[in-house]
Structure 1
Amino acid sequence: MDIFAQQIINGLVLGSIYALVALGYTMVYGVLGLINFAHGEVVMVGAMVAFSAITFFMGVFPETPGWILFLVGVMCAVPVCMLTSFTIERFAYRPLRNAPRLAPLISAIGVSIILQTLAMIIWGRNYLIFPTTLPTDPIILHTFAANPEVDYERTVSITPVQILIVCVSAALMFALTYTVNKTRLGKAMRATSENTQIASLMGINPNTVIAATFVIGAALAGVAGVMVATNYSVAHFYMGFLPGLKAFTAAVLGGIGNIYGAMLGGLVLGIVESLGAGYLGQLTGGFLGSHYQDIFAFAVLILVLTLRPSGLLGEKVSDRA
Structure 2
Amino acid sequence: MSSTGTLATPATSATRRITGVALATLSGLAVAVQSRINGELGVRLADGIAAAVVSFGLGLVVLLVLVPATPAGRRGLTALRGALTDGSLRPWQCLGGTCGAFLVSAQGLTIGTLGVAVFTVAVVAGQSGSSLAVDRAGVGPGGSQPVTGRRMAGAALTVVAVLLAVGDRLGDPDTLGLALLPLLAGVAVAWQQAVNGRVRMASGSALTATLVNFTVGTAALLVAFAVDLAVRGWPTGSPPAEPWLYLGGPIGIVFIAIAAAIVRFTGVLLLGLSTIAGQIVGAVLLDLLLPTAASRPDAVTLLGAALALVAVMIAAVAPSRPAR
Give the structure with the higher percent helix.
2
- When normalised by structure 1's length, the TM-score is 0.32
Give the structure-2-normalised TM-score: 0.32
Instruction: Kindly name which structure, 1 or 2, has the bigger radius of gyration based on alpha carbons.
Output: 1
